Structure 1
Amino acid sequence: MKSKFLAFLGGAVLSAGIANAGGFQANLQGQKQIGMGHAGTGLALDHSSIFFNPGALAHLRQNGIQLGVSALNARIVYREPAPGISESRTNNPLSTPFQVYASYGKEESPLRFGIGVYTPYGSSVNWGNTWQGRFGLNELSLTAIFIQPTVSYRVSEKFGIGAGFVFATGSVNLQRSIPLVSTFGYESGLELDGGATGFGYNVGLYFAPTEQLSFGLTYRSRVDMKVDEGDVTYRLPGSPLIGANFSANRFNAELPLPANITLGIGFKPTEKLTLAADLQRIQWSAYESLKFDFNGNVGGPGMTTSESPRNYKDVFIYRLGAQYEVSESFTIRAGAYYDESPVQNGYLTPETPDADSRGISAGLTIALSEKVDLDASFLYLNKKQRTDDASKSGGVPGTFKSVAYVPGIGINYKF
């Protein structure tokens, strides 16, 4: 039991933050793009090109600031394997991934400078402390914020290049039950809490050979998030022997957030209609295992290190979107995408009960004035039902089903 305790502990602490290009990677970096299935690499739509394609940023003609936020409402249902028939449901708090972009360039200059602050990873999972898998996980909260200063250069009217440096900061909090009961009848528990930082970059090329056709290619690098001196706290029965088995109060860990390569195409068959398609490759194979180092025992004498296998696989996301300008002040959008799961059979866990996903979205823009636009979007995400024995991850065997509803709103100020 002690070895299983550490194995699952190692897998649970941060893995919810790395799994929504399958899982909880928050694909919510621009309100216009969300409305188009999150496609936008081959377009120069707005200042969110800082994320989607830095090479397209220099082709914008106006300076501006964008603010946007989404309300991520996710629900997961778990069913025990046969012969059990009971179910559990998460009671997740509302998550609010956000994005802030600003860019500036002189009217005739080929250079444009920008900065983006956005949340590509982060979510909350709350199973409660009475469900069947409580010794694996009660609750998990993760946030990751990327700060990206960017420069873009318009080589010609048809070609642009750009790059941005990424500083990532975030935090994680995990709570889980321990199968030890006090003399007063309450169940023991463990809480891990820590901050994480990492560095990376985002580069892009933009090419528009005609007014109707454009292409984009971007590479967002791997970011290794490091937790140093995270806090370990317990709720345990008052026994010296038990206390010696759980003496650690600090932990260190490192988690790879995978690199992404995206090819995008934009096509304008008419002056008012824009079509977009993105093919995104996520290099999840970087996530082979997760190792934790503790400054004392966690679960038994000499148990100060844990390493659990993940062996994720590289996957694709396929995106399609459309935008139609109904009038000068009103634009509508629609889109869809298919997101492959990187989690292989045997590795499913309750913090990342991941499966292939289908997303459908819609959106609109209303021009409130010459300088102010209002964006809105809505995304419905449906993950396939998945049954797994969790034999390789030390997780919770059973069947999981996930859905999410994600409305969003943004405001753009042009100057």
Structure 2
Amino acid sequence: MKCRYARVASAICAAVLCPHANATEVFNMEGYGPISRGMGGIGVAYDIGSAAMMLNPATLGLMPEGKHISIGLDVVNTDIKVTNTATGESVHSGKHGSNNGPYFAPELAFVYRRNPYAFGVGVFAEGGVGTQYGSSSFLSRTTTNSVDTGLDNFSRLLVLRIPFSAAYNVTDKLTVGGSLDVVWTALNVGMLLDASQIGGLAAANRVSGTLVPALLGIPGLSGGHIRFSRDGLVGGGADAWGVAGKLGMTYQLAPSTRIGVAYSSKTAVGDLRGNATLNAVSATAGNIPVSGTIVVRNFQMPAQFSLGISHDITDNLTVAADYQRIFWASTMKNINIGFTSSGNGANLNISLPQNYRDTNVFGVGASYRINSKWTFRGGVRYAQEAIPGDSLLAVIPATPTTHLSTGASYAIGKDDILDFALSLALQKTLTNPGGTNSSVPIRTEHSQLNAVIAYRKRF
């Protein structure tokens, strides 16, 4: 069953030329579909089309009757700079290998709506992260013994959802909905840890395994580099499948005012597994590679609770606002990685502290229909910073918090609509003074421009 799902998802992603999406709110996209994205990511109490399956499936019951097909594409262009504040050296993410941007993510959905029911199925990228720093920056040089390793530092994460959703109009005012999501998580990582970082992790009982004595016995040990990667358009060096669910409702308070509530569960995805190479970096012997397998344990996307309201000021002008509480603390306390040598079965376990905070997210947007052809949108979105500075990893700089967005829809015909939106993540700076997650003090500067376009047809 999992293999069949993998082939289906891979074929869909390849069809739209899908590498992997870079996230804007930790690992989450800042809204799903052009309607939501153009209005600051709202959608709990507003009709955002088939993308409702990613936020509040009850709003599928707000769509017009008929069969709806939606095909879309997200394009994410990042600007990430990491600076060693002790030396002034810096490196930009991008154009160093197959993990660089821009990043692409698919949207494909079908909805059948007939009062009082609506049913939908789709494929959406929930989010991810992507960096590529190459092999010649200060990130590839150990602090201990100052060894230029020539080893890449990168990341690429995709969380793909295949929701099966339904909505039911209980009354003229109340609609309920739910979704069962098949979730695929795929991850590439290349990361150098200095000997000082490994020592700090060991002192905190975050390093264990039968490989530890052998590594400590290497003369001139300066660091260790772990790499697992799949360089194709789809997938990662380690991946796994799982499930998640959503429940939601909307209620018409007044003819022009609607509220909505939704809850999305924490994912239940298996441990990510794949092949990997561990390089022990020696100041005297160079890089000593060990082949084996990798497991990233209990890597989940968090639960979230959402509230929303929409209000029609006039027949042509609507405003909407959402609040979300995202429970990152329960999923991103640590990143737990295990490596097992294919030669003798010796193993190494590392637990990298993350200590993410739960966040509050606020989105406000407006939609104005100019005429029967054109509708314009705008919005703003703010999310609290989830990542403590001393937990920042250069390969996971998912730090932007504020987004400005705009978008529009053009009705090609009565039942054919082209939607598009732009979202600007304002530059966010975060510093790590150095320690367990960085051997040197670093500062990241991260901004990005996201675009999404989709074609909708009703028949």
C-alpha deviation, 1:362, in angstroms: 0.4
1:214 to 245, 250, 258: 258
- How many residue pairs match? The answer is 387
TM-score in terms of structure 1 length: 0.85
1:338 to 349, 360, 382: 382
1:34 — aligned with what?
A: 37
One-letter amino acid of the counterpart of residue 30, structure 1:
G
Is residue 122 from structure 1 mapped to residue 128 from structure 2 by the alignment? Answer: yes
Distance 1:18 1:372 in 2: 27
For the residue of structure 2 that corresponds to 1:312, the secondary structure is coil
1:93 — aligned with what?
A: 101
2:425 — aligned with what?
A: 381
- Of 269-278 and 96-105, the range deviating more from structure 2: 96-105
1:14 — aligned with what?
A: none
One-letter amino acid of the counterpart of residue 56, structure 1:
T
Q: Is the 8 A contact 1:28 1:70 kept in 2?
A: no
| Structure 2: gaps of 5 or more residues | 1-19, 95-99, 143-151, 196-222, 229-236
Identity %: 21
Q: Is the 8 A contact 1:135 1:178 kept in 2?
A: no
Cα 1:301–1:151 change in 2 (3 A) is closer
Cα 1:248–1:28 change in 2 (3 A) is same
Distance 1:132 1:264 in 2: 45
Cα 1:264–1:395 change in 2 (3 A) is farther
Is residue 47 from structure 1 mapped to residue 83 from structure 2 by the alignment? Answer: no
Distance 2:270 2:140 in 1: 26
1:10 — aligned with what?
A: none
One-letter amino acid of the counterpart of residue 25, structure 2:
G
Is residue 152 from structure 1 mapped to residue 151 from structure 2 by the alignment? Answer: no
C-alpha deviation, 1:202, in angstroms: 1.0
| Structure 1: gaps of 5 or more residues | 1-16, 181-186
2:335 — aligned with what?
A: 290
TM-score in terms of structure 2 length: 0.77
2:71 to 44, 63, 67: 67
Q: Is the 8 A contact 1:122 1:142 kept in 2?
A: yes
Distance 1:285 1:18 in 2: 22
Cα 1:72–1:344 change in 2 (3 A) is same
Distance 2:442 2:287 in 1: 33
Cα 1:170–1:345 change in 2 (3 A) is closer
2:234 — aligned with what?
A: none
One-letter amino acid of the counterpart of residue 160, structure 2:
I
For the residue of structure 1 that corresponds to 2:258, the secondary structure is strand
- Of 271-280 and 166-175, the range deviating more from structure 2: 166-175
C-alpha deviation, 1:65, in angstroms: 1.1
Distance 1:134 1:367 in 2: 51
C-alpha deviation, 1:105, in angstroms: 2.9
For the residue of structure 2 that corresponds to 1:23, the secondary structure is coil
Cα 1:102–1:247 change in 2 (3 A) is closer
Spell out, residue by residue over 1:75-102, the C-alpha distance to the aligned partner (whole angstroms, 9 max, x if none). Answer: 11112123x1222111132111222222
Cα 1:245–1:301 change in 2 (3 A) is farther
2:181 to 152, 166, 182: 166
Q: Is the 8 A contact 1:111 1:154 kept in 2?
A: yes
Q: Is the 8 A contact 1:349 1:396 kept in 2?
A: no
One-letter amino acid of the counterpart of residue 227, structure 2:
E
1:8 — aligned with what?
A: none
C-alpha deviation, 1:220, in angstroms: 0.8
Distance 1:278 1:376 in 2: 21
Q: CA RMSD in A?
A: 3.0
Moved over 4 A (4+): 17-21, 177-180, 187-190, 234-238, 241-245, 300-303
Distance 2:296 2:41 in 1: 34
Cα 1:334–1:56 change in 2 (3 A) is same
Cα 1:237–1:120 change in 2 (3 A) is closer
One-letter amino acid of the counterpart of residue 375, structure 2:
T
For the residue of structure 1 that corresponds to 2:405, the secondary structure is strand
1:184 — aligned with what?
A: none
